Amino acid sequence: MLTLGEDHSGRIRSSSSRSRPRKLRIHGYKIPDLNADPCLDMDREETEEVVGFKPQDADYLQNVPQLVYELEVEILARVPRFEYWKLKFLSKQFSRLLKSGEIFKVRRERGLAEPSVFMLSSGDTRWTMFDKDFENCQKLPELPSDICFFGGDKESLCAGTHLIVIGKEEKSIALWRYELETNKWFKGPGMITPRILFASATCGTVVFVAGGLRIDENRSMEVVNSVEKYDSETKTWTLLHGMHKRRKFCSGCYLRGKFYVLGGRDENDQNLTCGERYDEGTDTWELIPDIFKDMYFSSAQSPPLIAVVNEELYSLETSANELRVYDANANAWKKLGDVPVRAKSNGGWGVAFKSLGDKLLVIGASSGLSRTETMSVYTCRPSADPDDKLDWEESKRCCGVRLNHFILNCCVMIA
């Protein structure tokens, strides 16, 4: 936790072992509590103002030694990311360093990246970002799209430090991206084949997208098999080799170095029990027959709820509120136990089922006796052995935020 000392005048102080302590003078502003929980509304311009407070550069003497740039980045990369909002108030230089993206690059290279959960629930107009333990949160700025985009279904995915949200605006399919470095929304760049209801999977700073429903300017719709990849560092889309099957309402994951696309419906609206996996090294797809041969399907079914933890593929079987793990050797799913949310009541819609580091994350309406209408958050460290007991842990604090239990969009960013 970042803490700041005060002298007898109530001003923030900083010190150096090689110079006398020097007071930091901030004129005309009320200093916020930098050790309070950062459940903030950071919807501001470059100044990042909060309650009339602007970031200030410290009023140091010129002979105070400065850190070498590379060392400064290495140190700041090791600060927990949800503490960065505090550092923005101390120095404009830190804000500029944050926007450069160098800190996040070092975090990835040193294995310091942390998962964050981005979520939009029913009735909420703004996204909320939570840390991995759901102890800190931050409201994102308002996404500046039209009413058609807000009211319609949307797809969300993460690549590097970008949260990407795709949906239908009044005239076309639109893509908006939120950049963690700047805390701002930007429009584009659009996909090569704009689409909705597709499968996606993240691998570091890139995300793969496959299948879905293409809607052209004449509002004609087509189920596609096209595949492309987004690189968050170059902000570009690259066309990849297409799948064997056209499919919409499908799901994706990245498992053991390959991009998997599972389930969905074909151009005739028939349920697909097969899957496919993509090898980027050879730019080829391999069909996986009958991977969902034992799964229950209904006309109101959500796309398959799947997640990867420790290179094992898990699914939430919504018809039974049951967790399963995939056995590749037998091409079958093994039952592991119950999941503590009501996934069955809406055919899987409104439930978030994600990997969160070495844990599974599930969010929705609790299946317990309380049956509250606010979201319930559970995590567990799963085992692929059916004989091992599932130990679901509820995150009861959730920063005091009470969101609707019906989750419209949810994705995890590693940064």
Domains of the chain: 38-43+51-113 (no CATH), 114-140+297-409 (no CATH), 144-293 (2.120.10.80)
Q: What pLDDT does 163 receive? A: 98
Q: What pLDDT does 369 receive? A: 59
pLDDT digits (tens, 9 = 90+) for 227-275: 999 999 999 999 999 999 999 999 999 999 999 999 999 999 999 999 9
Q: Are 169 and 161 in contact (CB under 8 A)?
A: no
Q: What is the mean pLDDT of residues 85-105?
A: 85
Q: Which residues of 217-231 are buried (b: 16+ CB within 10 A; e: fewer)?
A: eeeeeebbbbbbbbb
pLDDT digits (tens, 9 = 90+) for 353-412: 999 999 999 999 887 655 556 789 999 999 999 999 999 999 987 777 778 899 999 999
Nearest to 160, CA basis, from 410, 358, 414:
414
Two structure tokens written together for 129:
């970002």
pLDDT digits (tens, 9 = 90+) for 15-41: 333 344 443 343 443 444 544 555 555
- The whole-angstrom separation of Cα 151 and Cα 368 is 30
Helix, strand, coil percentages, rounded to 5, for the chain? 10, 40, 50
pLDDT digits (tens, 9 = 90+) for 159-172: 999 999 999 998 89
Q: What is the dihedral of CA 161, 165, 166, 171, to 10 degrees?
A: -110
Q: What pLDDT does 89 receive? A: 77
Q: What is the dihedral of CA 280, 283, 289, 291, to 10 degrees?
A: 20
Two structure tokens written together for 47:
């100044």
Nearest to 123, CA basis, from 337, 339, 375:
375
Q: What pLDDT does 25 receive? A: 41
